[in-house]
Structure 1
């Protein structure tokens, strides 16, 4: 099993990183720089890639090493995946060497035993890397290998440069990877690398992009402690955040921005839920607000340019709205690029590393009394019940007379509804399944109505901006504002019914 943290660096900063105090002490025993020439093999139909595997033969001087890697988990920049590596006496793969390691019942196992597929294997791309490997023995007794890589990834028609830092855990605890990366970040700007070298190579061959990833259900056990539940929920939220980072960086699908933003909202809500029992570290919420805001601007303009203007043009006014849509799309694309830059920034890298280290080491315990630490071991069921009832009561209070509230107070009620929804979904497996489904169904209908109303309020503000910036788009923007205003007014009775239906329901228990 391979466990490594991948970071990217500008080529001009590699020399600076070599001078990092942490590495300078270890350089005396570092291996001499090596040239690694790795040829990746696949069938013409890229059957291995479809199996989410990569196969290479690496030349290191006169030695040849065959490596098969399977897809694994990636979180906070750490790739955790199965790796099968062995010496080989030729420049082409010998799949028979993998039979004992890979089950014949798996997709990959069946493929490597397919003689017809094996006969079709051919080079698809090559990585040519100059690597300096530094063995790092930490006072904590953790052992890492730091690889400083510079080179190219070359396919038949295209080539891209590469400069990277890889921290591989040889022995010890995974949190040593994040702690070491934070130390290196003090010397040179680094960013989380969301792609392996194989990912980069295959992107030169096929135009595929990371799909947006929705949240997975949270699975809890009724005998979990408060701390167990906290860790499970936060890791669930972070999995959604990290799974969408690559899609945000590529900039091809605005839905990745939306899903990463949802993951951040869920995370902030989870931290708020547990704040009295497990206080977040100083500055965490400010940094989460920052990255959420960077994504939020892109999402708001995407919604306006898409769904909102689609509704406004449904009655045959599409031509009048075309200049508005074009103006909004340009702003949306610009903001999507800004979101991508934020996710690739040093600031975001530091946030990811610090949060991962805080979770792994359970650093919240450091400043707690014995009584507070003991309370974390209490069963979570009673805690969840209390929290959900408190959130429900807050929503009922803020939503009084909901259909007649002004935009500001209705927005506060919408946020309260969102927090109740997240809390219910987080704790769902601790309560009656039927009660949860009934409650969430009514809450979802209410949220959907409040959500498009909020989109209308945001759209009105953005359309005013469009009118000021573009004389050509101003008439269409004015029409869209009027249309949205009429839709909101017509929705009064619907919102009233949805609220009355929800407020009669008790929270799950």
Structure 2
């Protein structure tokens, strides 16, 4: 078995020629570039049971040879995939894969996943690859490849326009460094999905959905540094898994999940700040805030139309003034989504993602020197201090809950959100029965504060829309009045929920 460590980067087809002329490639190249046509057939069950089990089985024709390859899911925590790979050359008369050429455990795993269902061709790829070998000054050997072509599955096609960086020998961080230099020339999106995984989506009849954050699970032996790296890596993966869905399918939920990923990321930077103490983390946090703001306007208009405007439309169907307000909102929503896509396709986004991946891979927080023992402290000793800080921050405002201004209510909401995200990072260190009621109460409180915040955001958007079109002032005033009545009731609910939450004993003490 070989290990394949690879970083996949996606870009527009017209940008590939610019990437191929990057000066760094001329400096690092060893030998001449090679070109070949790769025609691959991926085999699976009708419902893609192998892919769902983390297995990709293909037969590739290249240079007059037929190569059978089995790849497993990535074992790495970073953006670069780290997969098991088994290859064997087939005879010229062998059309399909030969499972008997695989190790016994892999053969058994395939048969268990298929569960008796026939394994047949499900996806075809036709790729023109230009590859060259590179060597960094530190001796890292990398294969740089440009792939142009098409995927075909279930009568559908999808374009392939990718750069692949495969580590042949050396440090995986060299892949990120090379990618950062390439991204200075062309905006590059990190691709987490393999061609086989893209084929599953292509073959399906449903659009890909938004991805929620996975639960963070730690045992009590983990130290602060490893927990920090795991959390940041998971936040970055959560962000990128939703990126393609948001861009390609204008998924409102995927865009929302991207904002959640960015908030969790910034909460992690803040929670670990006293331990890490590095300028890189502060800059990455600022970039995360920039991106959240850049895509936030689109999300605000999504909420305005679906949550704020829709209830009044339901109560007053056919109202022409409300319909005009929706038309104006939809127009601004379209512009906001255009701005969000531009941010997601920007060079700044590419740089942010790759710098964060490099920061995690290289443990960039160690660059400031100092006593490294602080990174080795047990997480279960660090967690209560971080949780106490956020609970105290929220409680300072909560003590005056009956007299808070609108801005202070918003501030209390943000403090509760930081507490909730930090709890999600550390909850696995504690017994589930101890955490369940606390987290449930905090979640209910957040939901009410979130609804109140949506209304305040909608108030500002309504003022913006009526400023652009004064004729919308009347329906805008009706919309605000309608939700002000609802907001008063929600605030009373928030006050009651806060008092209930305040009386629950923190489980980490």
TM-score range, shorter chain: 0.7 to 0.9
Match of 2:243 in 1: 245
Match of 1:226 in 2: 224
CA distance in 2, matches of 1:296, 1:212: 17
CA distance in 1, matches of 2:146, 2:34: 12
CA offsets, 1:352-374, max 9 Å, x none?
A: 111111111112112122x3x22
Q: Equivalent residues in 2 for 1:97-136 (5 A)?
A: 97-100=100-103, 103=106, 105-106=108-109, 108-110=110-112, 114=116, 117-118=118-119, 121-122=120-121, 124-129=123-128, 131-136=129-134
Match of 2:340 in 1: 339
The gaps in structure 1 that reach 5 residues or longer are: none
Match of 2:88 in 1: 86
Match of 1:4 in 2: 6
Alpha-carbon shift at residue 82 of structure 1 (Å): 3.8
Match of 1:210 in 2: 208
Given that residues 59 and 97 in structure 2 are in contact (C-alpha distance below 8 angstroms), is that contact kept between their aligned partners in structure 1? no
Match of 1:171 in 2: 169
Q: Equivalent residues in 2 for 1:183-332 (5 A)?
A: 183-280=181-278, 281=280, 282-314=282-314, 316-320=315-319, 321-332=322-333
SS in 2 for 1:198: helix
Given that residues 40 and 55 in structure 1 are in contact (C-alpha distance below 8 angstroms), is that contact kept between their aligned partners in structure 2? yes
CA offsets, 1:391-413, max 9 Å, x none?
A: 21111112232243111111111
Q: Equivalent residues in 2 for 1:23-102 (5 A)?
A: 23-41=25-43, 53-72=55-74, 77-90=79-92, 92-100=95-103
SS in 1 for 2:212: coil
CA distance in 2, matches of 1:423, 1:171: 38
CA RMSD of aligned residues (A): 3.0
Structure 2 CA distance for partners of 1:153 and 1:483, relative to 1, 3 Å: same
SS in 2 for 1:33: strand
SS in 2 for 1:136: strand
CA distance in 2, matches of 1:187, 1:178: 15
Alpha-carbon shift at residue 495 of structure 1 (Å): 2.4
CA distance in 2, matches of 1:433, 1:47: 32
CA distance in 2, matches of 1:228, 1:122: 41
CA distance in 2, matches of 1:49, 1:428: 31
Structure 2 CA distance for partners of 1:211 and 1:32, relative to 1, 3 Å: same
- Between the two proteins, the alignment pairs up a number of residues equal to 501
Match of 2:352 in 1: 351
CA distance in 2, matches of 1:21, 1:412: 48
CA distance in 2, matches of 1:387, 1:159: 49
Given that residues 3 and 168 in structure 1 are in contact (C-alpha distance below 8 angstroms), is that contact kept between their aligned partners in structure 2? yes
Alpha-carbon shift at residue 472 of structure 1 (Å): 6.9
CA distance in 1, matches of 2:50, 2:389: 51
